[in-house]
Amino acid sequence: MPVTEVVKDHAALTLTLTSEWDAPVSQVWQVWSDPRKLERWWGPPSFPATVTEHDLRPGGKVAYYMTGPEGDQYHGWWSVLAVEEASRLEVEDGFADRDGNPDTSMPTMYFTATFTELAGGRTRMVVETRFPSREAMEQLETMGMEEGMTTAMAQIDGILAQVGA
């Protein structure tokens, strides 16, 4: 499985997933920068994503929804804070209502994805999520965030394996 390490740090309020890929950094970056590739993995296999807005530059917004097995939809958004192409992405991540408005009853998180070139044309990707409080972290853990992210990232291999995908 691509995820090689998961570290939950309740004192620092972080959840960090480290993964390694048999692909160059530029190709791994595309699973974030190309909205059609992003929607192929951003969500567990039984909750595929549909990206409705994708402006991956500082000040930009990404909007999406995931559709569950029963047809129920879960909306979310990113506010893009920083982008260093093929190196680093930082966003505020939150839940939304059906109209794409932030759901203020749910916590927002911040995540940073960093990409490092390894020997042999491989890439290490580290995604660190920072929570605003212990309660928010526990709420999202209870909702299955760790398992959801791990199974979602497992789908990236299939995307990377398709030349020109």
Tokens, residue 31 = 């699973």
Q: Which domains are assigned to the chain?
A: 3-20+31-161 (3.30.530.20)
Which tens digits make up the pLDDT trace of 137-165? 999 999 999 999 999 999 999 999 986 54
Does residue 32 sit in helix, strand or coil?
Answer: helix
- Nearest Cα neighbor of 45 from 165, 148, 159, 141 is 148
Q: Span 6-20, mean pLDDT?
A: 97
Which tens digits make up the pLDDT trace of 37-84? 999 999 888 899 999 999 999 999 999 999 999 999 999 999 999 999
Q: Are 80 and 60 in contact (CB under 8 A)?
A: yes
CB atoms inside a 10 Å sphere around CB 62: 21
Strands 49-54 and 61-67 come out as antiparallel
- b/e for 70-102, b at 16 or more Cβ within 10 A? eeeebbbbbbbeebeebeebbbebbbbeeeeeb
